[in-house]
Amino acid sequence: WKRSVGMLARSITQNTSDHGEHYITRSKKEYMGMVRSAAGGGVLIALMALFKIVYVGRHITNPFAYGVAAGLNYGLGFALIFVLHFTVATKQPAMTASRFAAAVERSESGHAVNQKLAQLLIDVVRSQVAAVAGNVVVAMTLAMLIALVYRFTQGVPILTEAEVAYQIHSVNPWGATLWYAAIAGVWLFCSGIISGFFDNRCDYLNLRMRLRQHPVLKRLLPEKLRGKVADYLHANYGSLMGNVCFGMLLGMTGFVGHALGLPLDIRHVAFSSANIGYAAVAGHEGLWVFIQSVFFVLLIGVVNLVVSFMLTLWVALRSREAKIDSWLGIFQCAWQQIRAQPMNLFYPKDLPADANE
């Protein structure tokens, strides 16, 4: 049983690792592509946050229905972001951690290996910073613009005073905010596992062939279009399911907490940034409260990312029966590289064509 579970975990995390390579930027072109992709995600996140506040929050009072509606808002929105080739920053750690574990498995111990792992860690951090910045800056800016336009055209703020107070309080780390952010990090980890599971199942079932030969699809779609649909779903089935399931996990957490009387909820960095953008324009909290709230949003992001990354890395390493000999050695090598080229942590230098081979 233990061996079977281990083999399944390895297969799942291998699929996740394959996707993780796409989320790591090593050149200026890849970096700017990540920023643009994250900016596109930020646009949709601002709209999703508005829909959740204005429609779901104001019109649905039943806790279960509210959870389902919020989950569908998240899940379908995340799926749309994926289909449009945009990026949700917090989805990255579950993928990049598996890629890091794969690099550990292929490596021997020693200083040279620590240097390579340190460089990979820097690449991962830089890519994550770019994605978070793209999501947060664009989501918050667009939210503020929408709130300004609404106030100018309608003559009233887009959020009520109670909603503004709630959004400001929701990011305050002195309450349960960071605990809620950690819960979101756990769901991020789970979404990566779910994606890997469905990718693995897709290969096992040979979904591409099944869709091409499906009798209903044969009647509805011409062969060429049916082939394109089959190829797309086969390649992206896991990611689509992972995004939808992640959204439902986020949406239903509050309902489970309400039903059980437990302090369960979620805080997600991108949505929190959009919510603060709406609240900043709708309320009269002042510049200092806004700056403080932005800092709190970034704390939420750190917790989201660290929890997701460490859980995924732990599972990926165990599934590969690999281990990291010395985190201290990797961090020391990373610090040396950062001291030598501090800007490389935030913006990549172009490397020779064979540098990554």
Give the pLDDT confidence score for residue 205 in this predicted structure.
84
Give the pLDDT confidence score for residue 312 in this predicted structure.
80
Give the pLDDT confidence score for residue 353 in this predicted structure.
41
Per-residue pLDDT of the chain (357 residues; tens, 9 = 90+): 455 555 555 555 555 545 555 667 778 888 888 899 999 999 999 999 999 999 998 999 999 999 999 999 999 999 999 999 998 887 776 666 666 666 665 555 544 567 777 887 888 888 888 888 999 999 999 999 999 999 999 999 999 999 999 999 999 998 899 999 999 999 998 888 888 788 888 888 888 999 898 899 888 888 899 999 999 998 889 889 999 999 999 999 999 999 999 999 999 999 999 999 999 999 888 899 999 999 999 999 999 989 988 888 887 777 666 677 777 887 888 888 888 888 887 888 754 444 444
Cα separations (Å) of 214 from 202, 203, 327?
15, 17, 50
The answer to whether 272 touches 300, Cβ cutoff 8 Å, is yes
Q: Report residue 222 CA to chain centroid gap.
A: 36
* Sign of the alpha-carbon dihedral angle for 247, 248, 249, 251: positive
- What distance in Å separates the CA atoms of residue 314 and residue 327, rounded to the nearest whole number? 13
Give the pLDDT confidence score for residue 14 in this predicted structure.
55
The residue type at 236: N
Cα separations (Å) of 55 from 71, 75, 76, 148?
13, 16, 16, 19
For residue 72 the two structure tokens come to 């569908």
Give the pLDDT confidence score for residue 121 in this predicted structure.
80
- Region class of 142: left (phi > 0), else alpha (psi between -120 and 50), else beta: alpha
* Sign of the alpha-carbon dihedral angle for 302, 305, 308, 314: negative
- Region class of 312: left (phi > 0), else alpha (psi between -120 and 50), else beta: alpha
**Nearest CA among 255, 271, 236, 303 for reference residue 77:** 271
Domains defined for the chain, CATH in brackets = 2-198+236-345 (1.20.1080.10)
Q: Name residues whose C-beta falls within 8 Å of residue 308's C-beta, 6 or more positions apart in sequence.
A: 90, 93, 94, 97, 185, 186, 188, 189, 192
Give the pLDDT confidence score for residue 342 in this predicted structure.
83
Helix (H, G, I), strand (E, B) or coil at 356: coil
Would you give the end-to-end CA distance of the chain in angstroms?
38
Give the pLDDT confidence score for residue 110 in this predicted structure.
46
Cα separations (Å) of 45 from 40, 48, 170?
9, 5, 17
